[in-house]
Amino acid sequence: MKLEGKTIWITGASSGIGEACAYELAKEKTNLILTGTRKDKLGEVQSKCRALGAACAILPYDFSDVSGIPELLEKALGCFGQVDIMFNNAGISQRAKVGETIFEVDRKIMEVNFFAPVYITKLLLPHMLENGGGTFVTTTSIAGRFGFPLRSAYAASKHALYGFFESLQAEYYDKNIRSVLVCPGRVKTNISFYALEKDGQQHGKLDAGQAGGISPEKAAKKIIKAIRNQKPEVLVGGKELLMVYFKRFLPALNRLLARKIKPE
């Protein structure tokens, strides 16, 4: 798929994978709409994207409150007239055991990671169908392929994304609607810093595993290639991605290894 001239809306665009993908897509002379919680940081990303050749608008928003999504969508459509590619990248992680995590944390993680992209998709889908099709790119996780210590709500939200977006593509494939599921392992971003602990407080540190992950820039190049090729799923990371194949072909071994993962 040719990306030049396409309008692409990226959530979680103020840092990490979203920011790195914005720069790669800017080089393709796209029209970018960037959403994140930090307006000042979005402004910096916007300036860099424009310098790389993209038209770029920013729409700050916090997806823990889904009630404002209809208004946000109208603003997004007003930026360039349509959205060709919706990149649901915003997300929040977790660092707490099931029995110790307050329910409000489970609910917030599901709101940000699952219900927000679902709501955006349901509202945007009619516009894409009217324009002849479109692509939904969604950041999941290897935790969306198997359970993982201290990630119960996070893993649940990522499993749910697989079910929703695979179903979406099955239903609307003949209408030129495509789904690209981005499945990262360890990428060196600040996701662990902002992860929620059992009482809802921020984890506040970069985990060792996260620190040793691949760079967001390397991840972005692989993701953009997958979008261009309309690949249904792309695995992004290092040797930890072997766990996905263990789950598929050696599930008992996967369960054993998952129990032995050192919590961070």
> Rounded CA gap, 20 and 18, in Å?
6
Query: What's the CA gap between 68 and 62, in Å, rounded?
Result: 9
Instruction: Say whether 194 is catalytic.
Output: no
**261/119 Cα distance (integer angstroms):** 34
H helices present in 52-98, as ranges = 69-80
**How many whole angstroms separate alpha carbon 63 and alpha carbon 194?**
14
Query: What is the sign of the dihedral through the CA atoms of 223, 87, 79 and 77?
Result: positive
Report in angstroms the alpha-carbon separations of 155 from 110, 174, 259.
10, 30, 15
Give the active site residue among 119, 154, 162, 172: 154
Whether the Cβ atoms of residue 238 and residue 214 lie closer than 8 Å to each other: yes
Catalytic residue set: 154
